Structure 1
Amino acid sequence: MAIATLTTTVLDCPEPRELAAFYATVLGGELEDDGKGDWVQLVGPDRHVLAFQRSAGYQPPSWPSTEHGQQLHLDLHVPRAEWDAAERRVLELGATLLESDHGKRDWRVYADPAGHPFCLCVG
C-alpha cells in the first residue's frame, strides 16, 4: 500500500508567471496564480499539477555539469510524427537545445527559459 500520493511537482525559478506561461503553451492546462506572482501552478488536462515558485538567488542547473546539478528533469512525450515541429515550437517559446544526436536516440534535451532541463521524448 502506498504511503502517499504525488500531487504537485514544483520548480524554483526567478519569474514564476513567465515559466508557467512557457509550460502552459507546451503542455496545455489552466494557470492558477497566488495574485503576487510568487507561486503559479499549471493544472494540466490530466489534473497533474506543475507549480513554479519564486526563489531569490535562483541558480539554473548547468547541464550536464554537476556544479549546479539538474536535480530533476521532465520527460515530455511527443508523437514521433510531431517531434521536429515540437522542437521548433519549444525553441520559439524560449527553450534552448542542450543535446541532440540527430535522431539516433528517442529523446532530445533542452533547457526551459529558466534553465531547467527537460526532454522531448518519442516512443
Structure 2
Amino acid sequence: MPNIIQWNVRGLRANFEELRLLCNQYNPQIVAVQECQLRKDKIINLTGFSGLTKSSPGDNATGGVTLYIHKSVLFSEIQLDTDLQAVAVRVSAKKTLTVCNIYLPPSLDVNFSALEHL
C-alpha cells in the first residue's frame, strides 16, 4: 500500500513549507490536502509530485482540495460528475487503489445522494 498523508491544511500557501517538511520526513506517495483556499482551480506545485485540484465554487479562495501523487507512482485521474469539492485517482501499485479527496464545508447541507453518486 502507498504511504499517504492527509491534512486539512486551512490554507496551502500559509502552510506549504510545513507540508514540504512532512513530505521530506515521511516520503509519501500520495498527499491529500483539504481547505487549500486557492482561487479557481489553481495549484501550487510540490516538487516530485503531480497535482490535481478542485476549488470551491465562485471566485473566493475558500475550501477546495488538492491531491498530490508522487511521480514514481502510476495513476490515472478519475473524472467525477459532481459539484462537490473532490478529486479522485486510480493508483496502480501491487493492487489497484482508488483515492478520493473531498472537502465538505461545515456550512454545506450534505446531500447523501450526491455522496453516494460520487
More strand by share: 2
Taking structure 2 as the reference length, the TM-score comes to 0.29
Taking structure 1 as the reference length, the TM-score comes to 0.28
Structure exhibiting the larger radius of gyration computed from Cα positions: 1
